């Protein structure tokens, strides 16, 4: 028995060594008469990209597995009987590839024309006009006469507008299946799948139900990767303009941390450019009456959530309260909230009861802010600009009416704000930066990093550690680097020493935390928790890859490199702030003194906390 196990182990090691050697092997080939040497396993498409040779694609996406569905990327290989899909073909020694022969161009032209024959081409009215990948390829390959019939009218296409977050238009779908792969590979949801075959093939939900009635988290990652207008966010631009033009309304706008490091991408800037001050100036020129900051309520979230965590630890560790649920999960991400409601409802008591910063802001805008500014709350229109399509769903939840009104009236994505700035005729590049308005406009660097995965945890630790010990967290310049980065699941342990008398029960405790981003990674952590194998006290989970900077409402395209640049900008924003700990925000302190009394007070629970509901898992 032992010898068999040793033999199996030896074989596994030999196979592992073989794979490692194979990866180190270099393959030589020619593409368009240019020589290149690339590692074995590299696709022809990737090799061409290294030579700066453009090969068009539609189904291919850097975040997703290879599919080879659309065949737009076909190239000619010398000696091969047929054209090959460059995205799905690994290089081989001595390959001679040509990407622009007559045979290749005719094939691409016919493929694009076939796609267009079943595509409702109302491009000038489409939300994705000028940003549609199919439109770009049509401009290159399919102009002029076509030999194919227009089959759009022969199909009974449907448009699903049931979701408050996005619209699914089958008449624009090219069945590339990016959305299907995104939903299964990145988000572990599979809300949509391929149904039927041949001419009847479509992307469908479970039993073809409306998207509002299936297990969908509204995260919008499918929208971010759709190459056409088949999936777009549900836009509320016209409703916001109507409110701005209404002289009876006072229109308040808040902007999320991740918006300021991504908005520039839709306005001519490179990914990762910080445009905070210009964005504030643009919002004033658009016509908003009060330009305020979600970062204010992010700082407030830390005060409420940090206090809740410390209270739970005291009940669990000192009082032995068996009803107190540890680990505590963050509750800032509405996509994550809906995921746990569907997939792990038994663990809803582990969620922090804190609302997200967006919803805390909304509740205060029509109570505290209205009182301070002597405004009729019924005349306030509360608008938020978010990196997230799930925020549109969150604003519509029945739990989010603590102010006596709908706390957030309209949610715009980063992309929608860019459209409004262009509609207003604003030259964004020449704007002079300005500051947010006072009363719910002041913030700290801890709030800014909410936009990156690990940011909520880092902000919470900066405050909680100082409350318990009276000292700053023991990391250089407050930067808790072990919980930063794009690794899917991160873990860290901080030993608490030198506690103040009030928190002496935490002396010597090793606080164990974990961070996950993307729901496929959230599922990994939840499995550990369910199996009793998670030793953590506090877990941060964000639904989108990279956190909010990779949200479903951010500028398109998205990739690991783009998300990394946005994260760098988020941390740069933090380091350029004068105040970098949430408990130092002076406006938050005034809020408690004048209105809320203290963190987790009765008033705070009425306005800033909530509970969530179990949902069906089908």
CA angle 232, 233, 239 (to 5 degrees): 130
Structure tokens at 454: 């690990």
Choice among 140, 319, 399, 606 that is catalytic? 399
Cis preceding-peptide flag for 557 (omega within 30 of 0): yes
Tokens 């509740």 correspond to 363
CB under 8 Å to 354, separation ≥6 — which residues?
A: 301, 304, 305, 308, 331, 332, 360, 608, 609
CB under 8 Å to 63, separation ≥6 — which residues?
A: 182, 186, 225, 545, 558, 559, 560
Choice among 308, 341, 442, 540 that is catalytic? 308
The 3-class secondary structure across 333-366, one letter per residue, is CHHHHHHHHHHCHHHHHHECCECCHHHHHHHHHC
Phi, psi for 216 (deg, rounded to 5):
-125, 130
Quote the CA–CA distance of 416 and 393 in Å, as a whole number: 16
> Contact, 38 vs 46, CB < 8 A?
yes
DSSP assignment of 79-146: T-SS-EETTT-B--TTEEEESS-HHHHHHHHHHHHHHHHTS---GGGSTTTTS-HHHHHHHHH--S--
Choice among 133, 394, 416, 458 that is catalytic? 394
Spell out the long-range contacts of 492-497 with Cβ–Cβ below 8 A and sequence spacing 24 or more. 494/461, 494/465, 496/465, 496/468, 496/469, 497/469
Choice among 332, 354, 388, 544 that is catalytic? 332
* Helix-then-strand count for the chain, H and E: 20, 18
| 391 in catalytic set | yes
DSSP 405: S
First-to-last alpha carbon distance for the chain, in angstroms, is: 45
| 399 in catalytic set | yes
Quote the CA–CA distance of 58 and 216 in Å, as a whole number: 24
| 308 in catalytic set | yes
Burial pattern 409-423, b for ≥16 Cβ within 10 A else e, equals: bbbbbbbbbbebbee
Choice among 305, 416, 442, 458 that is catalytic? 305
| 394 in catalytic set | yes
Quote the CA–CA distance of 30 and 318 in Å, as a whole number: 69
Quote the CA–CA distance of 414 and 264 in Å, as a whole number: 10
Strands 489-495 and 510-517: antiparallel
Choice among 366, 384, 548, 582 that is catalytic? 548
Phi, psi for 412 (deg, rounded to 5):
-105, 145
| 352 in catalytic set | yes
| 548 in catalytic set | yes
Structure tokens at 384: 């938020």
Q: How many residues does the chain have?
A: 618
Q: For the CA atoms of 108, 113, 118, 122, what is the dihedral angle to 10 degrees? A: 120
Tokens 């069945």 correspond to 175
Which 3 state secondary structure label does DSSP give 169? strand
Choice among 391, 392, 490, 581 that is catalytic? 391
Residues with active-site annotation: 305, 308, 332, 352, 391, 394, 399, 548
């Amino acid at each position: 028995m032992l010898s068999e196990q040793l033999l199996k182990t030896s074989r596994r090691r030999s196979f592992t060594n073989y794979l490692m050697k194979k990866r180190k092997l270099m393959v030589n080939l020619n593409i368009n008469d240019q020589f290149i040497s690339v590692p074995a396993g590299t696709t022809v498409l990737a090799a061409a990209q290294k030579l700066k040779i453009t090969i068009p694609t539609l189904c291919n996406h850097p975040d997703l597995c290879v599919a080879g569905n659309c065949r737009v990327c076909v190239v000619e290989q010398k000696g091969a009987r047929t054209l090959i899909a460059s995205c799905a073909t690994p290089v081989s020694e001595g390959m001679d590839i040509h990407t622009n022969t007559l045979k290749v161009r005719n094939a691409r032209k016919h493929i694009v024309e076939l796609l267009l024959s079943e595509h409702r081409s109302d491009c000038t009215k489409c939300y994705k006009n000028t940003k549609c990948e199919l439109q770009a390829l049509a401009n290159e390959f399919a102009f002029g006469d076509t030999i194919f019939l227009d089959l759009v009218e022969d199909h009974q296409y449907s448009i699903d507008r049931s979701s408050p977050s996005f619209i699914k238009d089958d008449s624009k779908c090219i069945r590339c299946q990016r959305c299907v792969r995104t939903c299964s590979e990145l988000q572990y949801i599979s809300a949509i799948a391929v149904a039927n075959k041949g001419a009847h093939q479509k992307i469908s939900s479970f039993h073809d139900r409306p998207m509002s009635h299936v297990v969908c988290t509204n995260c919008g990652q499918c929208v971010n990767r759709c190459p056409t207008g088949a999936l777009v966010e549900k836009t509320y631009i016209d409703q916001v303009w109507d409110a701005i033009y209404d002289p009876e309304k006072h229109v308040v706008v808040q902007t999320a941390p991740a918006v300021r490091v991504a908005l520039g991408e839709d306005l001519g800037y490179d990914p990762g450019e910080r445009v905070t001050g210009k964005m504030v100036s643009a919002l004033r020129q658009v016509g908003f009456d009060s330009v305020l900051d979600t970062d204010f309520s992010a700082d407030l979230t830390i005060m409420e959530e940090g206090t809740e965590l410390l209270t739970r630890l005291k009940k669990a560790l000192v009082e032995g309260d068996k009803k107190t649920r540890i680990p505590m999960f963050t509750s800032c991400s509405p996509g994550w909230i809906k995921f746990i409601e569907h997939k792990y409802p038994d663990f809803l008591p582990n969620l922090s009861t804190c609302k997200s910063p967006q919803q805390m802001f909304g509740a205060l805008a029509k109570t505290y802010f209205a009182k301070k500014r002597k405004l009729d709350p019924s005349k306030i229109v509360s608008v938020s600009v978010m990196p997230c399509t799930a925020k549109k769903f969150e604003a519509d939840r029945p739990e989010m009416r603590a102010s006596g009104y709908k706390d957030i009236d309209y949610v715009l994505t980063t992309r929608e704000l860019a459209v409004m700035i262009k509609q207003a005729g604003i030259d964004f590049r020449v704007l002079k930066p300005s500051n947010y308005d006072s009363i719910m406009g002041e913030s700290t660097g801890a709030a800014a990093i909410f936009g990156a995965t690990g940011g909520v945890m880092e902000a919470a630790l900066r405050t909680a550690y100082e409350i318990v010990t009276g000292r700053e967290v023991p990391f250089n310049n407050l930067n808790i680097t072990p919980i930063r980065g794009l690794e899917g699941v991160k873990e860290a342990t901080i030993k608490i020493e030198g506690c103040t008398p009030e928190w002496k029960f935490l002396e010597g405790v090793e606080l164990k935390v974990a961070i996950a981003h993307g729901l496929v990674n959230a599922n990994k952590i939840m499995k550990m928790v369910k199996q009793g194998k998670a030793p953590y006290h506090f877990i941060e989970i964000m639904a989108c890859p990279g956190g909010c900077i990779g949200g479903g409402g951010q500028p398109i395209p998205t990739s690991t490199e783009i998300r990394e640049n946005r994260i760098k900008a988020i941390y740069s924003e933090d380091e350029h702030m004068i105040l970098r700990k949430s408990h130092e925000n002076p406006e938050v302190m005034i809020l408690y003194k004048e209105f809320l009394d203290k963190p987790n007070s009765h008033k705070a629970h009425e306005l800033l906390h909530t509970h969530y509901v179990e949902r069906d898992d089908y």
